[in-house]
Structure 1
Amino acid sequence: MSATGLLSGTQKGMSNVFWESVKIALDALVSNKLRSILTMLGIIIGVGAVIAMVSIGMGVRDQVQNSIASLGSNLIIVTPGAASTSGVRQAAGTNTTLTLKDAQAMSREIAGIGAVAPSVGKQYQLVAGNMNWTTSIQGTTPEFLEVRNLSVQSGSFITNDDIETRNRVAVIGSTVAESLFVNSINPVGQQVRIGNAPFTVIGILASKGQSAGGQDQDDMVIIPITTAQERMMGIDYVQTISVQAASSEVVDDVQEGITTLLRSRHGITGDKADDFTVRNLASVMATAQETTATITMLLGSIAAISLLVGGIGIMNIMLVSVTERTREIGIRKALGARYANILMQFLIEAVVIGVIGGVIGIVVGISSSYIISSFAGWNTVITSMPILVSFGFSVGIGLFFGLYPARKAALLNPIDALRYE
């Protein structure tokens, strides 16, 4: 016989031995169905939990990203008051440092700005006929529509004339419209009272849905900023200035320009701390991604503990199996079975448990994700990575925790094994 034929025969023999070992392993599992199912349960729960938890974490990440993106593109947020350091609150009054003139100066003096929208906000009760609703009132400028990526469903938006004349006009969100105006009444042109002041509804905003935090983005009313400041709140400062950069490439330059301009306007020199905070959504998005990634990793790690418990269960049951089949091992060794044959036999049994448990766990995890999404209303995202990783771990755990019992079986003395009762 040639060397090639001898090699081919050897490979076929090894293949036959392997599949024979797989068949024996399956027969052993089937003959002890309940024990096998209970052994797999830890792997099934572990793989299913990892897939479900990671899908929830990734769903939260996507929801947060979509919510931030819905605020507007290339957005920079300027708020009054210095940022807190080490949890220390700033002195009283630091939240009144921005004015309408600051916003106008930004628009006029800083290159690369697309639009600037100062705003103030407060909760008020609205009354229309015999209906009432409490919501957030935003006093702002016409640029708010572009900066915050909003659109008008019907009617019109506030204008610069409304700002100059302090008109009592309002643009309402779809939630407010549905809550105050029933029986298919068109809200445009209708009168509402905000606090005790009458306002005319001139438009309805297109729906944007919920934010990542579950806040209804359609539950708000927009009025001219001067009307809000002078006729409603009695203030001369603004609470937020939203700035839209002309492009993503100039966001950092615009942010730096805003900081320089406000320090100059507010008389801040040297190493004195700013009395305002400038943030762009890119940094907010990066922080959100880092946070949600940490949450996803934490959820997956907690769920992965079940895989470890499942592996301990595999080791336990394989040790029992070795004890039960001691005489069988002795007979096989007496008939010529070698160390590698016995070792492979028991390793295959452990790996088969991990593989079957992993496959069932994948089905359980994907099904759980869909059930959570349907009944709890949470956004879940299923990807191939957690499925492959968790399945790989289930197989690896079966191999790792099956190694000690398999080695113990392979090292049994055939004479002692044959005498075992």
Structure 2
Amino acid sequence: MSLTNLLKVAWRAVLLNKTRTLLTMLGIIIGVASVIAMLAIGEGSKKSIQDSISSMGANMINIRPGSQMFGGVMDQSEMQSLKLSDAQAISQKAKKVKYVSPLVNGSGQAIAGANNWPTTIYGVSPEYLSIRDWDLEDGGMFADDEVRSSAKVALIGKTIQKELFPDGEDPIGKMIRFKSIPFRIIGVLKEKGENTFGQDQDDIILAPYTTVQKRILAQDYLQSIVASSISEQDADEAVNEITGILENTHKIPLTEDNDFNVSSQQEMLNTFSSTSEMLTVLLVAIAGISLLVGGIGIMNIMYVSVKERTKEIGLRMAIGAKSRFILLQFLIESVLISVGGGLLGVLFGISASIFVGNALGWPIEISSFSLIISFVVCTVTGVFFGWYPARKAAASDPIVSLRYE
């Protein structure tokens, strides 16, 4: 008997019990749809996190003050451990670092005419925009001579523009006040939206760090330093370089902990990605239970089918059908049920993913890998769970089968 004939016989047998076949498929349909939907949500979340972190500066490195222990007591001056000389040393000595900017910030009310808005002002150098991979929508960045002279100039984010200039007037050249200090707006930043932590990146004012240090905060230390590696691949080497430079400039003894912390965006990305992947695997494992239940259902139905068609099996074998043809026939029936359920599951899974994305606003990413693996799993499920009933049918004694009532 040819494979084509076996397919026709198996297909007719499946169609004879449409309701039972559909109910048998249900476990496979739910399992495959759940796996595809979970993978789509997981991959979408991972991509969203990557995009959000990249929007903060893909190669960015953060240097923050840390704590230091002396005689078992925490040093309370850890917030003042970073100086301008540290930023200059990194800029001059780190070969894997492309840009460096001191960073100080303070919170307060920004006022323009009758409008005011609570926000944060950041004191930075002109290289900050390159580190953050941030473009200007209008105007320009302040220059080094304005940093040296502690000029009262500022760039504002889109949120500040909307709140302080709600009528749509051009803010360039206009004056705003922050803690009674007047600033002339020289640039408007392009919109970035929220970051990974849900913070509005556009609710920001940028000014020369010298201006913020002297006129707003009255301090000579830095709250942090931000830098950018030459490339993402150089991020780890850049972190090691910066650590070595600061250990030298701070004269940290080998027996003491560093009074600073250096971390890259890549480390943050790896942490979030590993967490996202772990949750995705957990969700897929839970969804995979439905596939297991569906496979057991197929085995049960095929076993019942073998019992119901015992006489048919005996008759086929009596007129010359070989055992391997009987085995293939029932195995093909099992695979047809499994793959049929898989096809419907894929359709439901894609539909469910799109619905979740549109209705709840969650990021989704339907990958071809999840579709391919679903078909592979369905086929394997059909073969695995259909093998025993098919083998039992092939091993039937034709004489006993013909006598079966």
Partner residue in 2 for 1:9: none
Q: How many residues align?
A: 402
Deviation at 1:393?
Answer: 0.5
TM-score with structure 1 setting the length: 0.84
Distance 1:223 1:50, change over 3 A: same
Which amino acid is the alignment partner of residue 86 of structure 2? D
Distance 1:37 1:250, change over 3 A: closer
Report the CA distance between 1:331 and its aligned residue: 3.1
Percent of matched pairs sharing the same residue: 43
| TM-superposed deviation, 1:392 | 0.4
Q: Secondary structure at the match of 1:142?
A: coil
> Could you say which residue in structure 1 is the equivalent of 2:66?
81
Q: What does residue range 193-208 of structure 1 map to in structure 2 within 5 Å?
A: 193-195=177-179, 197-208=181-192
Deviation at 1:225, TM superposition (A): 1.9
For residues 26 and 217 of structure 2, the distance between their equivalents in structure 1, rounded to whole angstroms, comes to 62
Distance 1:416 1:196 in 2: 101
Query: What TM-score, normalized by structure 2, do the two folds share?
Result: 0.87
Q: 1:75-108 CA deviation, whole Å, 9 max, x = no partner?
A: 3221111599xxxx97644333112232123224
Q: CA RMSD in A?
A: 2.9
1:414 equivalent among 388, 398, 405: 398
The correspondence for 1:340, drawn from 324, 346, 352, is 324
2:142 maps to 1:154: no
d(CA) in 1 for partners of 2:28 and 2:230? Answer: 53
Residue of structure 2 aligned with 1:240, choices 213, 224, 228? 224
Q: Deviation digits for residues 285-313 of structure 1, max 9, x if unmatched?
A: 44444444434433333322221121111
Query: Deviations 1:23-43 (Å, cap 9, x if unpaired)?
Result: 232222222222211211221
Q: Which residue of 2 aligns with 1:39?
A: 24
Task: After TM superposition, list the pairs within 5 Å mapping 1:1-150 onto structure 2.
Answer: 14-15=1-2, 18-72=3-57, 74-81=59-66, 92-150=76-134
C-alpha contact (below 8 Å) 1:60/1:212 kept by paired residues: no
Give the corresponding residue for 2:173: 189
Amino acid at match of 1:48: A
Provide the secondary structure at the position in 2 that maps to 1:54. Answer: helix
The alpha carbon displacement at 1:251 in A equals 4.8
The Cα shift of 1:46 comes to 1.7
SS in 1 for 2:89: helix
Cα deviation for residue 119 of structure 1 reads 0.9
SS in 2 for 1:218: coil
Equivalent residue, structure 2, for 1:301: 285
Match of 1:259 among 243, 264, 274: 243
CA shift digits 1:101-155 (9 cap, x unpaired): 3212322444454321111234434344444433343221222112211121112
Letter of the 1:80 counterpart: P
Unaligned 5+ residue runs, structure 2?
none
Instruction: State the distance in 1 between where 2:116 and 2:296 align.
Output: 61
Which moved further from structure 2: 334-343 or 270-279?
A: 334-343
Q: Hey, what's the Cα distance between the residues in 2 that align with 1:265 and 1:213? A: 33
Matches within 5 A, 1:236-385: 236-246=220-230, 251-385=235-369
Q: CA deviation at 1:241?
A: 0.8
Q: Tell me how far apart the structure 2 counterparts of residues 103 and 72 of structure 1 sit (CA, whole Å).
A: 18
Three-state SS of the structure 2 residue aligned to 1:347 is helix
Residue pair 2:98, 2:229 contacting (<8 A) in 1 also? yes
What is the alpha-carbon distance in structure 1 between the residues aligned to residue 103 and residue 213 of structure 2?
9
1:309–1:117 distance in 2 versus 1, CA, 3 Å: same
Q: Which runs of 5 or more structure 1 residues have no equivalent in the other structure?
A: 1-13
Aligned partner of residue 321 in structure 2, secondary structure: coil
Please give the secondary structure, in 2, of the residue aligned with 1:45.
helix
Deviation of 1:169 after TM superposition, in Å, equals 3.2
Q: Return the letter of the residue paired with 2:18.
A: K
Task: Give the whole-Å Cα distance in 1 for the aligned partners of 2:232 and 2:306.
Answer: 65
Amino acid at match of 1:393: V
SS in 2 for 1:102: helix
Q: CA deviation at 1:380?
A: 2.4
Question: How far 1:61 moved relative to its partner?
Answer: 2.6
Shift of residue 193, structure 1, vs aligned partner: 3.9
**Mapped partners of 2:23, 2:37: distance in 1:** 21
What is the CA distance between 1:366 and its match in structure 2?
2.6
CA distance in 2, matches of 1:331, 1:218: 78
